[in-house]
Amino acid sequence: MPDSGTRPDLAAIKEAAERISGLVHRTPLLRSRSLERMFDGKLHCKCEHLQRVGAFKARGAANAVFSLSDKELGKGVATHSSGNHGAAVALAAGTRGTQAWVVMPENAPAVKRRAVESYGANIVSCRPGLANREAALQKLVDEKGVQVIHPYNDYRVIAGQGTVALEIMEQQGDIDLLLVPVGGGGLLSGSLLVIKELRPQVQVIGIEPACADDARQSLDSGERVIIDSPDTIADGLRASLGDKTFPIIAELVDDIVTVSEDAIRDATRLVWERMKQLIEPSAAVPVAALLEQQIELKGRRAALVFTGGNVDLDRLPWQQREGP
Amino acid sequence: MPDSGTRPDLAAIKEAAERISGLVHRTPLLRSRSLERMFDGKLHCKCEHLQRVGAFKARGAANAVFSLSDKELGKGVATHSSGNHGAAVALAAGTRGTQAWVVMPENAPAVKRRAVESYGANIVSCRPGLANREAALQKLVDEKGVQVIHPYNDYRVIAGQGTVALEIMEQQGDIDLLLVPVGGGGLLSGSLLVIKELRPQVQVIGIEPACADDARQSLDSGERVIIDSPDTIADGLRASLGDKTFPIIAELVDDIVTVSEDAIRDATRLVWERMKQLIEPSAAVPVAALLEQQIELKGRRAALVFTGGNVDLDRLPWQQREGP
């Protein structure tokens, strides 16, 4: 893994915003009258499900890829994320005219394979399991000299994801609460670096599935806890914090809240029904926390991030009560 | 049926916009990079699925209800539409502090009943069939003296729906093509009255399901054709043109195009997947016409109306291939 630079500050995140502005959308903030009435406060929803590739991941991948020199880019880039980050790396690489390789287990769903292919990536199949994926990725580094773009444990990626919070503050600077889903922690750490420098009085809360509560456990124990392959419907939040994201979150976050699988399903459906926005379950955890009254909105002005909208429409979250 | 005034002109539709501005949202126009690439032209989507009650119907109902005097409103309003118009009448009546009655067949889906109830309407059950619904409505008129708000064959409703086109022209005045779903024709006739006075060079095309093609047949024969209970997945487009909407459409429309049920399903799914916008099948007919290459977008600047977003999430359009 090459060096990903140093921990970004607000200035670095503003530079990232500039760097990626030609590729990513400035997504809208949406409000919902019925959700605001339900939770009795202001709720501005940052629509990253309307972002390129359908997820905020477009930002971090673009910042990392665009930070590379033409020489570094010459041999291509690679990742072993088969989700939104894989598509994001492929898009950014294609924009810069270089190749992207995405390592995927041979049992990955065809729908994910097609999505990554549709952005022009080369797929490298491997046997299932993290060790096999990492070995396949290392082989690409050794044989082709590709640059690896990690989905979250990379300061350039963290800076890119931080541009979400930067835009929220430009669009609605008077919020007093920001709710962010937590998987590997790239979006949360990037957001904290923006908010705590720009307007530290804004409370920032991370939300994760109770059955993938590595961030909560890490905060409690003071040491980074890793949960291997947790089983949650919020498939974008299965990763554990990395050694670059954990220290930022431990230092700056106001709280980490966990939510049940049922609340995640109910929240996803609520947003589809009331807001007509097709978000993926990972994006619904802030609303799940409101539904479970773990976070009180009454009289407050909150923003939350709808992190992505990539869902298999043949198998909806509420048609999977039997477990993922 | 009371008189609904005279055929509205642009000035009347501007007055309607003013009248309803406190109740309805000014909905956004959304573009989709992937749809624009697919169809090779500009495509501005008017998001009436984000409107109050989840459909443009909020506009016409509000204009009709708000046009009534306090005395006329005193005894309440009524309709026999069990779809979006029923909810819209209930919302408008509640806002003006009067009662709404909605006549529904006793076999109506519970989900529709709950939706209408949630807006505060009184539900009057009747046996299935249009004659029974009309008889139940007439009974309300005779016994309670309610004002009937027809879902489309009412000039006040037509003027309200016309405010959709007025907003589109304010938001994106340089379009050369407007695509509008056609059921009873309220939205299409209102849109025509705006466009053909404001910017007559804009081509306005109505789109309807091939198996509910009363507008196409009416235009061809020069006489209003009524199709009784057509069987289409686009449940908001089952009505036939009324004697107030047909003459406006016959005089002003550029064309009526019909689309297949498969194209409607595919278009609905395409918008969900690519735009992450949860629209109902009735709202997808313009995209269906593009998919079937019945309308050519190449090099043009088009707007279309996403008319509504009320879908039963337990029974998706593409899970109903066996027919509605």
Q: Do B277 and A273 touch (CB under 8 A)?
A: no
- Catalytic, out of A4, A67, A82, A189: A82
Please give the mean pLDDT across all residues of chain A: 94
Verify whether residue B82 is a known catalytic residue: yes
Q: Do B49 and A272 touch (CB under 8 A)?
A: no
CB contact B57 to A (< 8 Å): no
pLDDT tens column, B22-31:
999 999 999 9
Q: How confident is the model at residue B229 (pLDDT cuts 50, 70, 90)?
A: confident
CB contact A124 to B (< 8 Å): no
pLDDT tens column, A219-251:
999 999 999 889 999 999 999 999 999 999 999
Q: Which of A33, A313, A318 sits opposite B272 (nearest CB)?
A: A313
Q: Do A28 and B28 touch (CB under 8 A)?
A: yes
CB contact B316 to A (< 8 Å): yes
**Which of chain B's residues have a Cβ under 8 Å away from the Cβ of A28?**
28
Please give the mean pLDDT across all residues of chain B: 94
CB contact B279 to A (< 8 Å): yes
For domain A58-148, the CATH class is alpha beta
Closest CA to A25 of A9, A47, A45: A47
A10-55+154-319 and A58-148 agree in CATH topology: yes
Interface size, chain A vs chain B, as Cβ–Cβ contacts under 8 Å = 40
From B184's Cα to the closest Cα of chain A, the distance in A is 24
Percent of chain B with pLDDT over 90: 84
Residue pair B194/B252 in contact by the 8 Å Cβ criterion: no
Percent of chain B with pLDDT over 70: 98
CB contact B38 to A (< 8 Å): no
Q: Do A272 and B278 touch (CB under 8 A)?
A: yes
- Parallel, antiparallel, or unpaired: how do β-strands B29-30 and B42-47 relate? antiparallel
**Which of chain B's residues have a Cβ under 8 Å away from the Cβ of A320?**
none
φ, ψ dihedrals at A77, nearest 5°: -125, 160
CB contact B318 to A (< 8 Å): yes
From B282's Cα to the closest Cα of chain A, the distance in A is 15
Residue pair B249/B192 in contact by the 8 Å Cβ criterion: yes
Q: Which fold, A10-55+154-319? A: Rossmann fold (3.40.50)
**CA distances, B259 to each of A162, B293, B304 (Å):** 45, 10, 15
Q: Which residue of B has its CA nearest to A49?
A: B276
The confidence score (pLDDT) of residue B3 equals 62
Q: How confident is the model at residue A3 (pLDDT cuts 50, 70, 90)?
A: low
- pLDDT tops 50 at residue A263: yes
The confidence score (pLDDT) of residue B312 equals 87
**Which of chain B's residues have a Cβ under 8 Å away from the Cβ of A272?**
278, 313
Q: How confident is the model at residue B321 (pLDDT cuts 50, 70, 90)?
A: low
The span from the CA of A157 to the CA of A191, in Å, is 12
- Parallel, antiparallel, or unpaired: how do β-strands A42-47 and A29-30 relate? antiparallel
Verify whether residue A276 is a known catalytic residue: no
CATH architecture, range B10-55+158-319: 3-Layer(aba) Sandwich (3.40)
Q: Which of A33, A52, A309 sits opposite B276 (nearest CB)?
A: A309
- Domains in chain A: boundaries: 10-55+154-319, 58-148
ipTM of the complex: 0.92
Q: Which of A49, A276, A314 sits opposite B309 (nearest CB)?
A: A276
Q: Do A313 and B33 touch (CB under 8 A)?
A: no
Token duo for residue A255: 């709280």
pLDDT tens column, B212-226:
999 999 999 999 999
Handedness of CA B245, B247, B251, B257 (dihedral sign): positive
Average pLDDT over residues A145-172: 97
The confidence score (pLDDT) of residue B1 equals 45
Q: How confident is the model at residue A310 (pLDDT cuts 50, 70, 90)?
A: very high
Q: Do B278 and A269 touch (CB under 8 A)?
A: no
CB contact A225 to B (< 8 Å): no
Residue pair B176/B201 in contact by the 8 Å Cβ criterion: yes
CA atoms within 13 A on the CB side of B43: 25
CB contact B243 to A (< 8 Å): no
Q: Which of A33, A276, A318 sits opposite B49 (nearest CB)?
A: A276
The confidence score (pLDDT) of residue B5 equals 82
Q: Do A279 and B276 touch (CB under 8 A)?
A: yes
The span from the CA of B61 to the CA of B306, in Å, is 18
Q: Where are the beta strands (DSSP E) in chain A?
A: 29-30, 42-47, 77-79, 100-105, 122-126, 147-148, 177-181, 203-209, 255-259, 301-306
The confidence score (pLDDT) of residue A324 equals 42
Give the global pTM: 0.94
Least confident of A48-57, A116-125, B253-262, B271-280: A116-125
pLDDT tens column, B89-104:
999 999 999 999 999 8
The confidence score (pLDDT) of residue A267 equals 98
- pLDDT tops 50 at residue A21: yes
Question: Which candidate in B35, B53, B91, B276 is best for mutational testing of the A interface (most A CBs within 10 A)?
Answer: B276
The span from the CA of B87 to the CA of B64, in Å, is 14
Percent of chain A with pLDDT over 70: 98
What does the buried/exposed string (b/e) look like for B244-270 if buried means 16 or more CB atoms within 10 Å of the residue's CB?
bbbebbbebbeebbbbbbebbbbbbbb
The confidence score (pLDDT) of residue B140 equals 95
Q: Do B279 and A276 touch (CB under 8 A)?
A: yes
CB contact B198 to A (< 8 Å): no
The confidence score (pLDDT) of residue A321 equals 55
The span from the CA of A263 to the CA of A261, in Å, is 5
- Catalytic, out of B42, B57, B112, B196: B57
The confidence score (pLDDT) of residue A1 equals 45
